[in-house]
Amino acid sequence: MIVCRDLKSWTKVREDWGGQGLSWGFVPTMGALHAGHLALASRAKEENGRVLVSIFVNPTQFNDPEDLRRYPRPLEKDLALLEELGADAVLVPDGSEMYPQGRRFKLSESELSAVLCGASRPGHFEGVLTVVLKLLMLSGARRAYFGEKDYQQLTLISDMVKEFFLPVEIVACPTVREPDGLAMSSRNLLLSPEHRAKAPRLNALLRSGLPLPEIRRTLEAEGFRVDYLEERFGRRFAAAYLGTVRLIDNEVL
């Protein structure tokens, strides 16, 4: 597995692969990898000649500096997991390379990014779309893989690719869950044992078929602080806090 710690080294690998007529799939991540990330990388490996994974904790998508500071960064563990999986290359760029002119240039969207997570996290999707656009262009991949847990993000990225005629296919992959139903997320590492035991209730209630007001009352009675509960696009969406950890999930209606 080739670890590219700067863009120059990745450019060389990309040129080598291209010169051999290879194609590759791409999985962008912020690290703290779990089975959901590995499922994306595994599918990318199955469907492409090579697989590239990026690890970059993108500062522009955090509207809370404390959230950025606390975000887990177990890089060496992540690299070991990817090597065991059989990833071909990992890009670990530096922030100064990803944003060589600071934050002068941004990509924004005016409709879907203003609801659900966008309503409570100002600037979040501007940061997401900006960095994903950069990463997709840097990757040179034929396909890029994203999970349905972040369904709003997945939809925005798919629409962005169509809008700007990017030569990459966005592949949606099902949410990977713990045995108790909790959607896998890097932020789950930050849950206390008490909150981890409660966290699966979010998905259980989304699947319950209960009316949204009743789900909200139940979650609040059980110690969740609900950010939103909404139905859009034929799905139920929820975001809720346990302590300082924000959980999101969605289920098809």
- 141 with 196, same domain: the answer is no
- 166 with 225, same domain: the answer is no
pLDDT (0 to 100) of residue 63: 86
Sign of CA dihedral 198, 55, 75, 20: positive
Which residues make beta-bridge pairs with 241? 225, 246
User: Of 34, 37, 124, 195, which is the active-site residue?
Assistant: 37
- 96 with 168, same domain: the answer is yes
Residue 179 domain-assigned? no
- Domain residues for the domain of 238 are 186-252
Residues of the chain with pLDDT under 70: none
DSSP state of 56: -
Structural domains counted in the chain: 2
- 65 with 165, same domain: the answer is yes
List of long-range contacts for 11-19, beta carbons under 8 Å, 24+ apart: 13/89, 14/139, 14/140, 17/50, 18/140
- 15 with 90, same domain: the answer is yes
Domain-terminating residue out of 173, 199, 219:
173
List, in order, residues 6 or more apart from 121 with CB less than 8 Å away.
63
Q: What is the CATH number of the domain that holds 207?
A: 3.30.1300.10
**Which residues in the chain belong to E strands, given as ranges?**
2-4, 24-29, 50-55, 89-91, 143-147, 169-173, 225-232, 235-242, 245-252
- 6 with 106, same domain: the answer is yes
Known catalytic residue: 37? yes
Domain-terminating residue out of 109, 142, 173:
173
Task: Region of 181 please: left (phi>0), alpha (psi -120 to 50) or beta.
Answer: left
- Nearest Cα neighbor of 178 from 205, 194, 197 is 197
Strands 2-4 and 169-173: unpaired
- Under 8 Å between Cβ of 39 and 148: no
- 9 with 67, same domain: the answer is yes
Residue 180 domain-assigned? no
- Under 8 Å between Cβ of 180 and 41: no
pLDDT (0 to 100) of residue 115: 97
- 15 with 68, same domain: the answer is yes
pLDDT (0 to 100) of residue 134: 98
- 223 with 133, same domain: the answer is no
- Under 8 Å between Cβ of 173 and 38: no
- 94 with 202, same domain: the answer is no
Taking the C-alpha atoms of residue 193 and residue 213, their distance in angstroms, rounded to an integer, is 28
Residue 181 domain-assigned? no
- 161 with 193, same domain: the answer is no
Count other C-beta atoms under 10 Å from residue 48's C-beta.
19
pLDDT (0 to 100) of residue 43: 97
Q: What is the CATH number of the domain that holds 163?
A: 3.40.50.620
Residue 178 domain-assigned? no
- 150 with 230, same domain: the answer is no
Residue 102 domain-assigned? yes
